[in-house]
Amino acid sequence: MEHLPIFLDIKAKPCLVIGGGPIALRKLENLRRAGAAITIVAPELTAEFRARVDESEIHYRARPFEDGDLEGMRLVIAATDDRAVNRHIGELANARQIPVNVADQPEDCSFIMPSIIDRSPVVVAVSTGSASPVLARMIRARLESLVPAGYGRLAELCADYRDKVKARFEQQRDRRRFWDRVLQGGVAERIFSGHLAEAHVAMEKELAAGTQSSVGEVYLVGAGPGDPDLLTFRALRLMQQADVVVYDRLVAKPIIDMVRRDAEHIYVGKQRNQHTMRQEEINRLLARLAKEGHRVLRLKGGDPFIFGRGGEEIDTLAAEGVPFQVVPGITAANGCACYGGIPLTHRDYAQSVTFVTGHLKDHSIDLNWPQLAQPNQTVVFYMGLVGLPKIVEQLITHGVSPEMPVALVQQGTTHMQKVYAGTLATIIDEVETDPPEPPTLIIVGEVVRLRDKLAWFSIERDPEQGATTPILPGD
């Protein structure tokens, strides 16, 4: 370890920044957020720098650096465009044992500025020891997804309850177990979702429960249409926290593989006329597992509330008094249309879009056909592959032109994606020649005509490595 990572308290302490350009401004921002009393020395400032000085309580000396400027300073930043001046400032500061950072000259620094993730009071700093600031910024960007903004509020809640927890648990072991439970459970998740009042109520319940495990929680998480890259940051975090995962056949295997490795897996997949577990049984299973104290991840393909039956599941959870939260996912219509190069709306072709299920609870497709046959709209049929002949027949019967464009997107956003494009008059023959594999989404509307123009690439995904390769038109 070439540098000792430390955090300095410079709140209200005199700090000096020499330089008036973009680099000096970036350095200034970190000092300002830390509450330093800042003095700027530079003959000129950029317009952006000047605006920041004018709006803040920053003392500005409009002249070149003088040795006496270091007097009384607790920290110095040298960021002029003259390397010799910067080196001179570094030598002076080091001689006076004042911490100094010299921009882009690590040999003249007594400390270096890391790449920072600010979730105050939680702060994460990343450094490569000046070897590669760009790499440090890349690592920081990846960590951003793992440290949501709510961690700052969570730390504040911990500070509020620190004394109460010490009074409640005499043994350090018990305090550690309590905080482990709180920081990875329902209290933390309420903080992350912005429900601060509910978080305090949950915290009081946890204190009352003591070392006894309280009721668990259910996470209804939208896994998206298949591509793991489309998961939300929040979904990824919950996937790593859950100790039981309940999933169905629409959740892609690469996504299942991203769940916490020691979690129990329960498959409840349903296909047409073949149900591993009935929906009512799934609802009761989720409630039972949570009441046993588990953190239950209910992974659902697409979005839980768009033909995902998430509403039925939370009905049961609410009735049973089980805490839950819902994490939206990219629904199949958005994902499949985007990866297929089909805009669901377009000013010239479709001013509305309708999502409709291709079969009802009793396996019929008795839909509002007059409404679905209206012009200037896009209609997306979920789970409509088996009923495709009926869909085509009814749309034409209710006035839709047989020349209306249609696209079927097989297993959209995955390496198995395939797009069948045609019209109402031709699509049946196309799928009979080369039957698509479910799940397949059906898109009906003039926007399908734009596919050849807008689908600048298709997705080819290596099923073993998960790598994606763009395929340009004509390849």
Annotated binding site for NAD(+): 22-23, 43-44
User: Is-catalytic flag, 54?
Assistant: no
The catalytically annotated residue of 69, 227, 248, 300 is 248
Contact 188, 200 (CB under 8 A): no
> Which of 106, 148, 98, 107 has its CA nearest to residue 127?
106
Question: Please, what's the b/e burial string for 199-224 (b: 16 or more CB within 10 A of its CB; e: otherwise)?
Answer: bbebbeebbeeeeeebbbbbbbbbbb
How far is CA 311 from its chain centroid? 23
Beta bridge partners of 264: 244
> Which of 92, 86, 95, 158 has its CA nearest to residue 121?
158
The catalytically annotated residue of 118, 174, 243, 270 is 270
DSSP state of 64: -
Contact 151, 188 (CB under 8 A): no
User: Is-catalytic flag, 270?
Assistant: yes
Where on the phi/psi map is residue 94: left (φ > 0), alpha (ψ -120 to 50), or beta? alpha
Contact 328, 303 (CB under 8 A): yes
Beta bridge partners of 350: 346
Where on the phi/psi map is residue 159: left (φ > 0), alpha (ψ -120 to 50), or beta? alpha
Place of tokens 């390496």: 415
* Cα Rg, the chain, nearest whole Å: 29
Question: Can you say which residues are annotated as belonging to the binding site for S-adenosyl-L-methionine?
Answer: 225, 301-303, 306, 331-332, 383, 412
Q: How far, in Å, CA of 377 to CA of 152, rounded?
A: 45
What is the longest distance spanned by two Cα atoms in the chain? 89
Distances (CA, A) of 209 to 177, 178, 217, 290, 305: 13, 10, 16, 16, 33
Contact 359, 385 (CB under 8 A): no
Q: How far, in Å, CA of 365 to CA of 356, rounded?
A: 10
The residue type of 288 is R
Question: Can you say which residues are annotated as belonging to the binding site?
Answer: 22-23, 43-44, 225, 301-303, 306, 331-332, 383, 412
Containing H/E element for 410?
strand 405-410
The residue type of 389 is P
Supply the residues annotated as catalytic: 248, 270
